[in-house]
Amino acid sequence: MKLQDFLGKEEKWAFDAIAEDIDLARQIQILLIGLGLLEPPADGKFGPVTVIALKKFQELTKTEENGFLGAVTAKKLIETKIDDLPKPPLKLGNDIASKIVKYMLSKDYQVFTNPKEYNIVYVEGVNADWNLNNDTPNEFNDRRIVIEVVNGVPKILDHWEATTEPGKHYTYNPMNPKGAARIQFGQYKAWAVGTHGTAEPHEALVQVGDITVCRDFNKDFKRTGDKLDTGNNFYVNQHYGFDFPRNDIRLASAGCLVGRTRQGHKEFMAIIKQDRRYVANRKYTFYTSVIPGDDLLKTFPK
């Protein structure tokens, strides 16, 4: 079955019927992906995440076909372009959440604006009061942040001490002969809920997709001049830092994105596991953005 087969007919397919037609499901997914309502891939599996996206499309385009696929939805799916979809305006101010969102938009990063869809962001070299620090090596002097956009307004749900960089131990004793991994600034869709560690296993976001890291071969704790290395098997996870002191990363990071405390990390995981995409699909792959605090505040000053 194809969407074209619904046109001018009284066909009404429930969502479970679509799920049994892989070709139809894939066609719908391709169109929803093109409209920015669904994330790739188009795998032909018409599960809860695709259902949410289709319902959102029907709501935005006012098909009045709730809970089923009919001729109206089929026609609109075929004909609608991304610029045709109504977009609730973002209401951005001068608060830090708005500045982070503005910065992300300036870099063409994904910003999720639907309810219960969270934006995970690490800002390097800033304190809890959002002032810059010296970004001294081997310290938990970065911030791990979760932002939700509520009625167009970005809100920080919570934020914690963190590091986006490897500590002294693994910089001087790298696990990879190319040098310690320092994640390249950017946005990556690369983490899923899993378990980190063997000595003290705990729930974390584990790397499942490609990221790019800078290899600190010269051990100068800087990205400048480092060779870039891209892959999905670096084990750059988002875990906790064992309550180590703020000024000593110790063995907590060989290049991972690490929240300093156990309790703060548990709070982080509890929030992101409420993301509706994860609730719908426990294998959901999360986006995460890593941005430099100095460039953020230079671009959007106080």
Model-level pTM?
0.84
Instruction: Report the largest interatomic distance among the alpha carbons of the chain, rounded to a whole angstrom.
Output: 69
pLDDT score, position 136? 98
Tokens coding 69: 């696929």
Q: Per the omega criterion (within 30 degrees of 0), is the bond before 41 cis? A: yes
Dist. CA 259–CA 50, nearest whole Å:
32
Dist. CA 107–CA 134, nearest whole Å:
24
Q: Which residues contact 261 (CB under 8 A, 6 or more apart)?
A: 160, 161, 240, 241, 243
Dist. CA 135–CA 139, nearest whole Å:
8
pLDDT score, position 103? 98
Q: At which residue do the structure tokens 């938990």 appear?
A: 140
Dist. CA 156–CA 146, nearest whole Å:
6
Nearest alpha-carbon partner for 142 in 238, 235, 214, 208: 238
pLDDT score, position 21? 97
Dist. CA 141–CA 127, nearest whole Å:
7
Question: What pLDDT tens digit does each residue of the chain (302 aa) get?
Answer: 999 999 999 999 999 999 999 999 999 999 999 998 998 889 999 999 999 999 999 999 999 999 999 999 999 999 999 889 887 789 999 999 999 999 999 999 999 998 899 999 999 999 999 999 999 999 999 999 999 999 899 999 999 999 999 999 999 999 999 999 999 999 999 999 999 999 999 999 999 999 999 999 999 999 999 999 999 999 999 999 999 999 999 999 999 999 999 999 999 999 999 998 898 889 999 999 999 999 999 999 97
pLDDT score, position 114? 84
- Measured N-to-C along each axis, helices 22-34 and 71-79 cross at an angle, to the nearest 10 degrees, of 50
Neighbours of 291 (CB within 10 A): 23
Mapping DSSP onto H, E and C, the string for 155-193 reads: EEEEEEEEECCCCHHHHHCCCCCCCEEEECCEEEEEEEE
pLDDT score, position 302? 79
